[in-house]
Amino acid sequence: MIIKNVSLETVCGITSKLPETDKPEIAFAGKSNVGKSSLINGLMNRKALARTSSSPGKTQTINFYNINDQMYLVDLPGYGYAKVSKSEQEKWGKMIERYLHGSKQLKAVFLLIDIRHDPSANDRMMYDWINHQGFRPIIIATKLDKIKRSQLQKQVKLIRTGLGMPAQAPVLPYSALTKQGREEIWEYMEQFINE
């Protein structure tokens, strides 16, 4: 996709009403610090529209980015954020559930996993949960530049096994530093948008 214009159109807090959009939506989930904001900025060709973990005042919200008036990229709140209490996390769980369950335009959910690490219990829970909501999560393995090329297959296998993924399901490696993997991710997104 050629990015012509992007804007952060809607920001939903915990009690916000979720928007009913009229364009396809693609959502991104992952634990805090996995590189979700960096990926979203990279996909949109923006340096800092999505706020990264290190930016002060980053709060838990669901953000809807309008891309070219063609689609929405939906940034779900990162889980496992140390500063957020358990009860707050549970509220967000309900909010995300409401979104995954309620959106009429949601076409696909991408789940981000750090390529260096075994999926955590939270990652597995999120993976199972997305499946349970009727979506087949597409896995993006982030921070590709942090491993040696020779480790790639092994790390991808760890993610597959850790999540219990079916054999054919894709794992898309991505580096926010080099943008390697960006085109493949857009190709997947476009397939869902055009479905």
Q: Facing residues of 66 across strands?
A: 7, 72
The C-alpha atoms of residue 45 and residue 38 are separated, in whole angstroms, by 10
**Whose Cβ is closer to ligand GDP: residue 23's or residue 80's?**
80
**Whose Cβ is closer to ligand GDP: residue 34's or residue 67's?**
34
For the bound state, the minimum distance from the C-beta of residue 81 to ligand GDP, rounded and expressed in Å, comes to 8
**Whose Cβ is closer to ligand GDP: residue 107's or residue 143's?**
143
Q: Facing residues of 142 across strands?
A: 114
Burial class of 38 by CB neighbour count within 10 A (0 to 12, 13 to 18, 19+): buried
For the bound state, the minimum distance from the C-beta of residue 115 to ligand GDP, rounded and expressed in Å, comes to 9
For the bound state, the minimum distance from the C-beta of residue 167 to ligand GDP, rounded and expressed in Å, comes to 26
For the bound state, the minimum distance from the C-beta of residue 54 to ligand GDP, rounded and expressed in Å, comes to 5
Q: Which residues bind ligand GDP (CB under 6 A)?
A: 30, 32-38, 52-54, 78, 142-143, 145-146, 175-177
Q: Cα–chain-centroid distance for residue 77?
A: 9
Query: Pick from 49, 1, 29: which is nearest to 140 by CA?
Result: 29
Q: What is the CA radius of gyration of the chain?
A: 16
**Whose Cβ is closer to ligand GDP: residue 21's or residue 32's?**
32
